[in-house]
């Protein structure tokens, strides 16, 4: 399950980025928001595996999509406010964009079936 593994790996990266931001940059507010939204994507994907219905499955993944979109926002804000460098930003954003595309595709496919 590619979305399951990608969202989990991304969550691990977010946890490590949060640890860096809190420990090295003494940034706690934005990084906490990133931690919350970035890790909830994988949790929602996991929840969707045991959805009670197709509608519940779509709903859980739709919330994951919103969290992924929010995560992209926090990453951009951290980059534009000089808390993370361009390399770190580009790396995380390319991953979240891939997750966004996967979620959109799964949701669209599930709605048409």
Can you spell out the DSSP letters for 21-64?
HHHHS---HHHHHHHHHHHHHHHHHHHHTT-SSHHHHHHHHHHH
Category of 112 on φ-ψ map: left (φ > 0), alpha (ψ -120 to 50) or beta? alpha
Read off the pLDDT of residues 79-103 as tens digits, 9 standing for 90 and up: 999 999 999 999 999 999 999 999 9
Confidence class for position 64, pLDDT limits 50, 70, 90: very high
pTM above 0.75, yes or no: yes
Distance CA 63, CA 38 (A): 12
For residue 73, the model assigns a pLDDT of 98
- Residue-wise pLDDT for 7-60, tens only, equals 999 999 999 999 999 999 999 999 999 999 999 999 999 999 999 999 999 999
How distant, in Å, are the alpha carbons of 16, 21, 27, 48, 52 from that of 24? Answer: 12, 6, 8, 35, 43
What is the reported pLDDT for 113? 85
> How far is Cα of residue 106 from the mean position of the Cα atoms in its chain?
15
Helix (H, G, I), strand (E, B) or coil at 84: coil
């Amino acid at each position: 399950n590619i979305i399951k593994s990608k969202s989990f790996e991304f969550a691990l990266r977010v946890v490590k980025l949060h640890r860096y931001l809190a420990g090295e940059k003494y940034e706690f507010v934005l990084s906490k928001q990133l931690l919350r939204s970035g890790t909830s994507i994988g949790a929602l994907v996991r929840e969707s595996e045991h959805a009670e219905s197709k509608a519940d499955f779509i709903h859980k993944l739709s919330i994951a999509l919103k969290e992924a979109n929010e995560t992209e926002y926090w990453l951009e804000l951290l980059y534009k406010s000089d808390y993370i460098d361009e390399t770190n930003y580009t790396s995380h954003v390319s991953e979240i964009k891939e997750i966004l595309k996967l979620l959109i595709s799964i949701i669209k496919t599930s709605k048409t079936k």
